[in-house]
């Protein structure tokens, strides 16, 4: 079977690793259609008409764009966590309605089931929050010159650009 170019492959389940290799994969996923590495010429960039040797720092701009997009990943994860907490609050509000006499048919088993659901939502939201914080920390660390250089170095060997 034909292997898809790296930039056409779906993002791995669970996202990319929070490593230089993960950043290299992000770079190829995000910009691989316009980047090539050739051991004789170095990095080439598609200008819309032809492949040109990167003499303007385009690769650096692309890897920096890729790393800064991790902040967007973090925001998305944190937003999912906030939505889970909102669902939890709505769920717990139903318990208040029951307690005020809104539904006399509710049993202790029903209340326990709602509380169990609410606890699961809180746990999932906490995981999302921790993952969002880890993404933010990784993004900040990845903006260092050494981390950017490492991602570019690893990307040279990835399918799709080499």
Mapped onto helix, strand or coil, the DSSP state of residue 143 is: coil
* Per-residue confidence in pLDDT tens, the chain, 162 aa: 556 666 667 777 778 999 999 999 999 999 999 999 999 999 999 999 999 999 999 999 999 999 999 999 999 999 999 999 999 999 988 877 655 555 556 677 888 899 999 999 999 999 999 999 999 999 999 999 999 999 999 999 998 787
Q: Determine the Cα–Cα distance for residues 34 and 48; give it in Å rounded to an integer.
A: 9
Residues near 74 by beta carbon (within 8 Å), at least 6 away in sequence: 132, 133, 135, 136, 139
Q: What is the 3-state secondary structure (H, E, C) of 30-65?
A: HHHHHEEEECCCEEEEECCCCEEECCCCHHHHHHHH
What are the E-state strand segments in 39-162?
Answer: 42-46, 51-53
Residue 45, SS3 per DSSP: strand
C-alpha 147/C-alpha 131 separation (Å) is: 20
φ/ψ (deg, to 5) at 72: -65, -40
CB atoms within 10 A of CB 131: 19
């Amino acid at each position: 079977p034909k292997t898809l170019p790296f930039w056409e492959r779906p993002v791995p389940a669970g996202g990319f690793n929070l490593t230089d290799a993960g950043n290299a994969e992000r770079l190829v996923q995000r910009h691989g259609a316009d980047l090539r590495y050739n051991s004789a010429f170095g990095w080439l960039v598609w200008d819309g008409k032809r492949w040109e040797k990167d003499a303007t720092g385009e690769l650096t701009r692309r890897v920096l764009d890729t790393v800064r997009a991790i902040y967007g990943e973090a925001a998305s994860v944190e937003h999912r966590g906030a939505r889970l907490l909102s669902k939890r609050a709505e769920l717990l509000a139903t318990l208040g309605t029951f307690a005020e006499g809104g539904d006399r048919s509710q049993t202790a088993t029903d209340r326990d089931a709602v509380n169990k659901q609410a606890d699961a939502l809180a746990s999932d939201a906490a995981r999302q929050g921790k993952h969002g914080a880890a993404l933010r920390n990784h993004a900040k660390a990845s903006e260092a010159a050494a981390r950017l250089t490492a991602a570019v170095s690893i990307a040279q060997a990835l399918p799709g650009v080499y």
